[in-house]
Structure 1
C-alpha cells in the first residue's frame, strides 16, 4: 500500500494554500475528495490567468494532482445530506476558508461529531477561527506585510519587498497537513476527533524565528542587508561575478579559511580583524567591499569550480529556466508528467515529501465533478434511484 492509502479526506479547498497542502497527501496515496460548489464553478483556481480556458488552468493543475472531485451544492438539504454521508465515511474534513466560515457552514468538529466521532476537522484560514481578525479575509501578500516579512526583504535603500513566491501560502499548507496528520494519529489512537485551527498569520509570525527571539529578548532590530547578506554571518551573501551572481556562505570557520585560499588572499585569513564570526561581523564594512571587488574579476563558473572543489557552500543565482534545468533536479525526479485532455503531456513539479523507496504515481487534476459517479456509487453505495432523487433535488447543482 501507499503510505496514506487508508486515509480519506473530504476537502473544501480553493486557490493555492489549501490545495498545495493536500497535494502532498494525495501524492502519498491519500484519497482527497474535493467538494466543489456548482454555483460558483468550483475551485476558483480553475480560472486563474494567464493560462486558463473554460475550467482548466495551469494554476489549478499545479495544486490538484492525484485528487478527485464531486460537484455538490451544500446549501441544499440534499447536498448537505450527501456531504454528511461523506463525513461518515471519511477520516478528515479539510478546508481553507475565512476563519468564521467553518462555523457558518457547520463543518467544525462540534457540528460533525454526531455523524463521525473520529472525524478530524482541519481549518486553514487567514487569521484563524478566534481573535479580532478572524472574520477578515487574508492573502499571502497581505500577511507578508503584516508579519514583518516585507520590512526585512529587499535592499537597504529600497522599498519593502515581498518574496518572489507565495511562501506564506505554501508554508501554511505544509503546517495545515502536519496538523491534520497529527490530529488523525490522535483520533485513531483515542477514538475521538477534534478541530485543527491553523492560520496563515500564525504560520508567518512563527517563521520570524530567531530574529523575533532576538528582538523580544535582547532588543534586536532587524534591518535589510546589502545583497541579501546574512544578519550575523560574514561573508554569507550574494556576490556579483563577471557574468552573473553567486551566493557564497561561510557558516563555519573552516569555510572562511577555505575561501581565502580559493580567492588567493590568505592575508585576509590571517588578519585579526577577520579572525572570527564576531570580528568579521564587526568589520564587515571593510571586508565585504574587498570580497566584492575580488569576485567581480571572474565569471560564475570560474568561481564555482574551485569553491565547489573546496566544499565551500556556494551556488549560482539561477533564473527559473536555469533552476528547472539543473542536473540535480532531474536526478531527484522533481519534474513529473501527466496526460491532460486539453494540455496533452503536462509537466509539473513533484512533491518534496519522500517516504520509502517507491515513487508516487501521478494523475492529472480532476475536472469539476469528474469523480461524482465513482464517489456516489463506490464510496457511498447510492443506488441509481437515490442518485436520481438527489439530482432532482439540486444536490449536484441546478444544471447537473
Structure 2
C-alpha cells in the first residue's frame, strides 16, 4: 500500500501502558508518524516491563501489542533543555496526545493554551481517567474502576453471581479509539481553519456512554435493565447461550423472520406453538422457551448445529482463547499478522481491523527505546556535539 490516509501527519505521543498507546497505534497503522516520548530516567513506557513474557532487553509482548509502527524518542520533558527540544518538535507536528492523569497536562505544559504560541495549529489530545475540568481531575483511575462505577459490571455475569468485569480492558480500548477519533477531527479542523484546540476524552465518560440504550430507557422510563441468565439479551428472545450435546452455542434469532427460519430448521412441534410466534410472546415465555430449545439442541453436538445453522441463523460457538486464536477463519481473513522482531522473527500479533481498498494494514514491530532519538534531533537541527551533550545531561 503506497499511500496511507494519514501519511504526512506528525503526532507526538506522551503516553504509556494501554488506553493511550492503543488509540495512537490506530493512527500509526493508518500512516501517521507517531513519535512516542519516553522518559529515559524511568526506562520509558512502563509497559516495556509488563510481564510475564519479555522479548529482548526492556521490551515485552505486552508493549508490542500497543506500539507497532511508532517511533521512540527519549526525552525528559521536565528539564529545561528537554522542554526546548519538545517545543522545537511541536513546531513540526500536527498534534500532541497524552494519557496522563487529568491534572498533569497543565503541569507539564502540554495544553493548547500553553503550546499555541509555539504552533497555533497544534491539536492537544488529553485522555485521562475522569477529565481535566472537575474535582476528580487529580484522581488516578483504571478501566476496571470505570466498569464498576458506570454500571457496566452490574449488567455483566449471571444474575445470581457477583457483578463481573469484562474479560479484557474494553473501556481502555474504547477510550483510546474515541480519543483518536477526536484527535483526527481536531487535526482536520485545524488544517481547515489554521487554529488548533484541546480535545478531551476520559475513561469514565466513555464507560458511561457505553450504557447506551439501557441508559436511555432508565433516563426516560425509569426502566432498570437486569442481568439475565445465559448472557441473554434483556428484551429479545431467543438471544443467548443454549445447551447442545457437548457444549453451548450462542443463538440470536432477533426477529420474527429469523425465528421462523429457526423453527423450520429445528422442526419441533413445541417450538411451533403460537405462544412462541412473536418477539413479545417469546420474551414473556423466555424460561420455558430456553428449556425447549435446550431439549432440541441437546440431541446433537455444537459442530452439528453450526453446520446446519451457519449463514441462515446468526449463531456462534463459544470458544476459549486458544480455540479463538486457532480458528482457521481468522487466518483466512488475515486477522493474524506476522511482525518480525529482532528477538523473534516469527512474532505474531492481531492485525488492525480497518481495511483500506480491501487490504489489511501492515506494520513493523515496536522499536527499542530511543531508536529514533538521533534522527529526530538531527532533523530539528541539533549537531552531533549537542546531541552528545543532551545525552550526557540525561535529557535524552
User: What TM-score does the superposition give when structure 2 sets the normalisation length?
Assistant: 0.96
Q: Could you tell me how far 1:296 is from its partner in structure 2?
A: 2.0
Paired residues of 2:41 and 2:394 also in contact (CA < 8 A): no
For residues 227-247 of structure 1, give each alpha carbon's deviation from its aligned partner in whole angstroms, at most 9, with x where no partner exists: 000000100001121222210
The equivalent of 2:4 in structure 1 is 2
The equivalent of 2:216 in structure 1 is 213
The equivalent of 1:356 in structure 2 is 357
Q: After TM superposition, list the pairs within 5 Å mapping 1:236-247 onto structure 2.
A: 236-247=239-250
1:189 aligns to 2:200 (yes or no): no
Q: Distance in 2 between matches of 1:83 and 1:256?
A: 60
What is the aligned counterpart of 2:29 among 11, 15, 27? 27
The equivalent of 1:64 in structure 2 is 67
* 3-state SS of paired residue (2:292): helix
The equivalent of 2:88 in structure 1 is 85
Paired residues of 1:46 and 1:59 also in contact (CA < 8 A): yes
The equivalent of 1:388 in structure 2 is 388
Paired residues of 2:353 and 2:360 also in contact (CA < 8 A): no
Paired residues of 2:101 and 2:128 also in contact (CA < 8 A): yes
The equivalent of 2:309 in structure 1 is 307
* Range that drifts further, 200-209 or 236-245: 236-245
* 3-state SS of paired residue (1:39): helix
* Range that drifts further, 153-162 or 293-302: 293-302
1:372 aligns to 2:373 (yes or no): yes
Task: Give 5+ residue unaligned stretches, structure 2.
Answer: none
Q: Distance in 2 between matches of 1:359 and 1:227?
A: 35
Q: Distance in 1 between matches of 2:43 and 2:393?
A: 19
Q: Could you tell me how far 1:358 is from its partner in structure 2?
A: 4.6
For residues 340-391 of structure 1, give each alpha carbon's deviation from its aligned partner in whole angstroms, at most 9, with x where no partner exists: 222332100111122234543311101110111121113x132223323433
Q: Distance in 2 between matches of 1:260 and 1:349?
A: 37
The equivalent of 2:288 in structure 1 is 286
1:130 aligns to 2:151 (yes or no): no
* 3-state SS of paired residue (2:205): helix
RMSD: 1.4
The equivalent of 1:327 in structure 2 is 328
Q: Could you tell me how far 1:185 is from its partner in structure 2?
A: 0.6
What is the aligned counterpart of 2:232 among 208, 229, 232? 229
What is the aligned counterpart of 1:98 among 90, 97, 101? 101
Q: Distance in 1 between matches of 2:362 and 2:218?
A: 46
Q: Could you tell me how far 1:302 is from its partner in structure 2?
A: 1.1
Paired residues of 2:268 and 2:296 also in contact (CA < 8 A): no
* 3-state SS of paired residue (1:9): strand
Count of aligned residue pairs for this structure pair: 393
User: What TM-score does the superposition give when structure 1 sets the normalisation length?
Assistant: 0.95
1:157 aligns to 2:160 (yes or no): yes
Q: Distance in 2 between matches of 1:217 and 1:61?
A: 44
Paired residues of 1:73 and 1:394 also in contact (CA < 8 A): yes
Paired residues of 1:76 and 1:394 also in contact (CA < 8 A): no
* 3-state SS of paired residue (1:102): helix
* 3-state SS of paired residue (1:124): strand
For residues 111-146 of structure 1, give each alpha carbon's deviation from its aligned partner in whole angstroms, at most 9, with x where no partner exists: 100000000000111111112222111111111101
Q: Distance in 2 between matches of 1:17 and 1:192?
A: 27
Paired residues of 2:94 and 2:123 also in contact (CA < 8 A): yes
* 3-state SS of paired residue (2:201): strand
Paired residues of 2:241 and 2:248 also in contact (CA < 8 A): yes
The equivalent of 1:16 in structure 2 is 18
Task: Give 5+ residue unaligned stretches, structure 1.
Answer: none
* 3-state SS of paired residue (1:93): strand
* 3-state SS of paired residue (1:163): coil
Paired residues of 1:33 and 1:68 also in contact (CA < 8 A): yes
Paired residues of 1:78 and 1:394 also in contact (CA < 8 A): no
* 3-state SS of paired residue (1:29): coil
* 3-state SS of paired residue (2:85): helix
For residues 137-159 of structure 1, give each alpha carbon's deviation from its aligned partner in whole angstroms, at most 9, with x where no partner exists: 11111111010111111001011
1:42 aligns to 2:55 (yes or no): no
